Structure 1
Amino acid sequence: MSNVFTKLADFTLSPSTTFFSLTLTSKTAETVNFDLHFPEASANPMGLVQGGMITAALDDATSVAMIDGYHDEKAPLSTGLHTLFHRPLPLGPAHIVVNIIKLGRRSATSEGRLFNTNRQLVATLLHSAQPVDKS
C-alpha cells in the first residue's frame, strides 16, 4: 500500500478526506474504488447532498488515485474539474470509482464516478491536472 493510502486509512491525509470518511476499498492497475459518507454538514436546502460537496469528494478521490499513480512523488495541481450531475444523492454512504486516463510528465487526467447505495450513477467528474513535485 502506498503512503497516500496509509495516510488515507489513518485519516491523516487531509481534512476533506476525513470529512467525507473517504476509504479505499479496492485497487487494480486501472481502477481505484472508494467508499465514503456524506455527513449532515454536506446537505443543501432540500436535504440532499450539495453539488459542490459531490465535486469536492470526487476531487479528493481522483487526486488520491493520481498521487498513488505517481508513487507518492507528485501531486495533481488541478487545471480543470468538470462535473456532470445525473441524479440527486441523499446524505449518507456512497461509492466512487476512479479510472486513471493519463499520468504524464506535463498533464494528468482521471475520471471519477460517484454512485449511490443502489449503484446508480449520481455524478461524473473529469479531472485534469498538472503534476507537481510533492514538497
Structure 2
Amino acid sequence: MNFPRPPWDEATIRQYFSRPELAPGYSRLLGFEFVDVDTTAMTFECTFNPGPELCSPAGAIQGGFITAMLDDTMSLAAISALGFDGVVPTLEMKTSFLAPVMAGFVRAKGQVLKKGRKTFFTEGRLWDREGQLLAHATATCIHRPHDKVKAARARQARGENSRSSE
C-alpha cells in the first residue's frame, strides 16, 4: 500500500484502519479492530479480543497487556488529531484497573483531553461487552513530526547520536 502524505483526513484514517493486516504486530496480538474515529472531538474507538494466552495464572488478562490496549487507543486518538503527521510517543502513563479483564471482547475509547503545541494529555477507557468499565488510564505524549523522525533515523543509521541536533 502506498501511504498518502500527511495530513490524513478522517476518510483516509477510516480507510487505513479498515485493513486489519496493516496493524502493527502487537495490535494484532491484542485482537485490535477499528470502530470509529472523530478528528474534531479527538477520539478514537476500537475493540480488542485478547486471547487466553495473555492471561495471568489467576485467569484475567495480565495488566501490561491491558495497559498496552489503552496506550494504543490513546495514542491513536492523538495521532488521528494530527492527521497522522509523525508519531506521538508516550512520556508517562497511569493505569487504574477497576475490574478483571477476561479473555475475549473489550471496547476501548481514547480521547485527547488537551492538545498543546507539542504535548497531548489523553485519557482511555476499557469496557466489557455489558458496558462495565474495566480500566481507565491517562497519559501524556509528545508529537514528533515525520521530518524529525526521518532525520533521527538517518542519524541513527549513520551511527550518530540521535539527540545531537534536536
Task: State whether TM-score is above 0.5.
Answer: yes
Matched, 1:87 2:99: yes
Aligned CA RMSD, in angstroms, stands at 1.8
- After superposition, the Cα gap between the structure-2 partners of 1:103 and 1:74, relative to the gap in structure 1 and judged at 3 Å, is farther
- Post-superposition shift, 1:47? 1.2
Residue by residue over 1:11-45, the C-alpha shift from the partner in whole angstroms, topping out at 9 and shown as x without a partner, is: 32311111122122122332322111111221011
More helix by share: 2
Runs of 4+ in 1 over 4 A off after TM superposition: none
Contact conserved, 2:88 with 2:142, CA < 8 A, in 1? yes
Q: Hey, what does 1:74 align to over in structure 2?
A: 86
Residue by residue over 1:32-82, the C-alpha shift from the partner in whole angstroms, topping out at 9 and shown as x without a partner, is: 221111112210111111111100111111111211111110211211111
More strand by share: 1
| TM value normalised by structure 2 | 0.74
| TM value normalised by structure 1 | 0.89
Q: Hey, what does 2:61 align to over in structure 1?
A: 49
- Post-superposition shift, 1:87? 0.7
1:44 and 1:34 map into 2 onto residues whose CA distance is 23
Structure exhibiting the larger radius of gyration computed from Cα positions? 2
Contact conserved, 1:9 with 1:23, CA < 8 A, in 2? no
Q: Hey, what does 2:7 align to over in structure 1?
A: none
2:15 and 2:72 map into 1 onto residues whose CA distance is 12
Q: Hey, what does 2:27 align to over in structure 1?
A: 17
- Post-superposition shift, 1:7? 4.9
Question: Higher RCO, 1 or 2 (CA under 8 Å, sep at least 6)?
Answer: 1
- After superposition, the Cα gap between the structure-2 partners of 1:5 and 1:48, relative to the gap in structure 1 and judged at 3 Å, is farther
Q: Which AA in structure 1 matches 2:60?
A: L
> Structure 2: any 5+ residue segments left out of the alignment?
1-10, 151-166
Q: Hey, what does 1:109 align to over in structure 2?
A: 121
Contact conserved, 1:40 with 1:91, CA < 8 A, in 2? yes
Q: Which AA in structure 2 matches 1:62?
A: M
